[in-house]
Structure 1
Amino acid sequence: MRFGKIDYLNLLPFDIFIKGYPTPSSFKQCLNHRKSYPAKLNKDFFLRRIDAGFISSLAGYASWRKKQVTPCAIIGNAKVLSVLVLLQEKEGIDTQSATSNALCQVLGLKGQVLIGDNALRFYYKPQPKPEFVDLATLWHQKTGLPFVFGRFCYQAHGAFYQEMAKAFYKRPVKIPHYILEQRAKMSGLTRAQILHYLKHILYRVRPKEEFSLRCFYRQVRLKRATRPKRF
């Protein structure tokens, strides 16, 4: 079993959960070696270097059509804080996330795309700062729906990953103080900022989130937004 993981703060609760979840030792070893950013995991997934992971929603389209997805995802609940577009900056994509770049195209925005810790540091930095848009907020304003940034997809061992996903969103996760301290130092954020950010992230896919994905995929086709490729 080869699981790939995004090394971002939005999956910090999953990091805590998986340490206590019963898995083969080989799974845990692979988990520690397959941490990366979304675009890299997309490629690993396409090339079958990993069996499963939280894959960019855009890259997970084929898995969604094949029903090789779990009811678990990374969801921005009206806000996400970690996926922003700086409107007054020179236009530019973020090479680490295909879904964020496509969403920017779908929403008709031009500017510099920021994701992950870089976006959070910008969001929490004191004024003044350039005008920016939270992509989950704009999507919610236009559709009334939350936005699904990444989906827990799989290509093998479906029953195992389905059970894992359900166990994750059903079990409340408390982040230990020492881990918050570690991640605060690594990210350049405070513990309070990390906890505030995580309040805006949901993980369970319900009908509203499924409908949001359908709307996004339709807009990607209509706008001919750039999709991740195998090579």
Structure 2
Amino acid sequence: MDASGAESRNLDLNQEFGVQSRESLPSTPGKTFVNLPLSLDPERIVDVAVEAARQGDETLAGVLDQISAAVYLTDADGVVTHFNRACADFAGRQPEARQDRWCVTWRLYTDDGVFLPHELCPMAVAIREGRKVRGVRATAERPDGTRVDFLPHPTPIFDVEGQLTGAVNLLVDVRDARYHDYLRSQSARCRRLASSVGDVRTADILHAMASDYEEQARQAERPN
């Protein structure tokens, strides 16, 4: 494949997976930047935040400001260290670095409406148990009394020696149309891939993945 063909293929992949090329990001001599997702792809956003955190505070601050969904980080004790502007809009309050612990929200409730103390929230579980927490839906209450249903994505961060250094959490408002679009696009992508593979077992797996994305979309779009 010649250079123009390779470039075209890279552009196709960027469009397929919703990722900017490094050339489209800010360029500053001596600094490293990470690829930013164009769509609301939760796992890619989390990966971007983790990578930025490992590169240092300056890179992390620049990356967080470019993510339009609520993202925050804590240290290994669950104390909030960094957050982006979207966190204040999401929580209805200004988070306090080095003061807030476990979460940036004012109050939390389970999907069933039961009050959930911050020390028992998904982020606290992720840090204490050293594992990602997924598939949990919760409700955040703002100081003005309004509530928002969301999907947290708490993810521990480990250093090269495997020691827990902190965690990142992405709070996805289930009403966000970008998230619905992401789920639907992933479902369509799985169906498309399933129709192009010759192996029946692989096709079945892809169809099952598509069905899972579709169910997630239905759950996200359901009325409060």
Highest RCO, 1 vs 2 (Cα 8 Å, sep ≥ 6):
1
User: What's the TM-score, normalizing by structure 1?
Assistant: 0.29
User: What's the TM-score, normalizing by structure 2?
Assistant: 0.30
